[in-house]
Amino acid sequence: MKLKSNEFELIGNWIYQENEVIEDETAKRVHNLKENYLIKIATDISGWEVLYQDPNDKRYWELTYLHSEYHGGGAPSLININVQLAKKKYGINI
């Protein structure tokens, strides 16, 4: 499923179920979007955050992990960022 024009954040979560940790539907969608739809543009200096672009509407999306207290930063999230932030943070010439 592509990103909708009214979406600005996809915040994934982990679900604890029967002594097991699984990703919620949003986290699964984030993985699907980054693997099959979004175009990778750059990775930040830490290597943890990645800038993607939606090929349809050209918006920029940052893949990030919002739960530093969890192993690997927790479930993935995609957050829409503006061009100015993308230029500054990722040092790209857009």
Domain coordinates in residue numbering, the chain: 9-90
Residue 12 scores a pLDDT above 80:
yes
Q: How far apart, in whole angstroms, are the C-alpha atoms of residue 84 and residue 69?
A: 29
How deeply is 16 buried, as exposed, middle or buried, from its count of CB atoms within 10 A (0-12, 13-18, 19+)?
A: exposed
Q: How far apart, in whole angstroms, are the C-alpha atoms of residue 90 and residue 81?
A: 12
Query: What are the φ and ψ backbone dihedral angles of 36, each rounded to 5 degrees?
Result: -125, -5
Q: Is the whole model's pTM more than 0.85, yes or no?
A: yes
Residues 6+ apart with CB under 8 A from 72: 65
Using 50, 70 and 90 to split pLDDT, how confident is the model at 77?
A: very high
pLDDT digits (tens, 9 = 90+) for 21-67: 889 999 999 999 999 999 999 999 988 899 999 999 999 999 999 87
